[in-house]
Amino acid sequence: MNQTENVNPEEIEKFESVAHLWWDLSGDFKPLHQINPLRVQFINQHIAEHPVYKHEGIFDKQVIDVGCGGGILSESLAKLGAKVTGIDMGTEPLNVAKLHALESKLTINYEKTTVEDKAASNEEAFDIVTCMEMLEHVPDPASVVASCSKLVKPGGLVFFSTLNKNIKSYLLAILAAEKILKLVPEGTHDHDKFIRPSQLIAWSERSNLKCIDTCGIHYNPITENHTLTSSLDVNYIICCRKVNS
C-alpha cells in the first residue's frame, strides 16, 4: 500500500455524514466532548514534567492534531496558546472545524492531508503530536505511528489514544456503547481494528518513540462521568518521547 493511500473511504464517509453534529454536546460526539478534558489533562501533565517544555508549558508550542475531525482537541490546545495545525481527510469535518474556530475567534491551521504526506514535507517540525481515536480507523495504523514520529522534533512528545483489543472492550465499546446505551452510532467501531497497548508500544519503539506513560479512560454509565484510570482494558492513551535515531 502506498503510504499516501492509508485511508479507508468507508470510514471517511461515515464521519462526513455526521459532521454537522460535531459540536452538538448531546449528540453523536458527546463521548468525545466528555473525554476531551481528560486528554488535555494528560497532555498538560506530561508537558509539566518535560525537562524543556515545563518552563513555558504548551504556550507557543507547534502542535499537530492528526485525525482532528471537527476540532474538539485542536481548539482546546489552541485556547492554551499552542500554535495548532489540524489534519484530517474528511472534507466536511474540516469545514465544521474551520467554521467553529472562526466563531470561537481561534487561529488554527486546518489541512486536508494524510499524516504520511504531511510528514514527508514537515519532518521534525512539531513540538507535540496528538493522534486521538484515529488509529483504529485506518488500514495501516503502524504507518500513522511512524509518520507521527517523523513529524515530531527529537525530545518532543507524541500522544496516541485508541481502544484495546479484548473481550471487555467488545462488550463495553461496541455491545454496550453502540447497541444498548446508544452512546455512539452503531457501526462507529470495528473490534477487529482495535489495538492492544503492547502492539502500539512496539510500533512506537520501532519508530524511535519511547513510551513514558500509559493511562486508561473509564466510563461510568450511571453517572455518565469519565475518569483516568490505571486500567488499559478499554479506552487508553499513551505518551511517547522522541529519541534520537
- Dist CA 100 CA 115 (whole Å): 23
- Dist CA 89 CA 244 (whole Å): 30
Do 197 and 231 touch, CB atoms closer than 8 A? no
89 marked ligand binding residue: no
Distance of CA 132 to the CA centre of its chain: 1
Residue with cell string 481515536: 133
Do 158 and 131 touch, CB atoms closer than 8 A? yes
The DSSP call for residue 20 is: G
Do 42 and 237 touch, CB atoms closer than 8 A? yes
- Dist CA 79 CA 95 (whole Å): 19
Grid coordinates given for 69 = 475531525
Pairing of strands 83-88, 109-112: parallel
241 marked ligand binding residue: no
Grid coordinates given for 236 = 487508553
Residue with cell string 472534507: 91
Which residues contribute to the annotated binding site for S-adenosyl-L-methionine?
39, 67, 88, 132
Which residues contribute to the annotated binding site?
39, 67, 88, 132
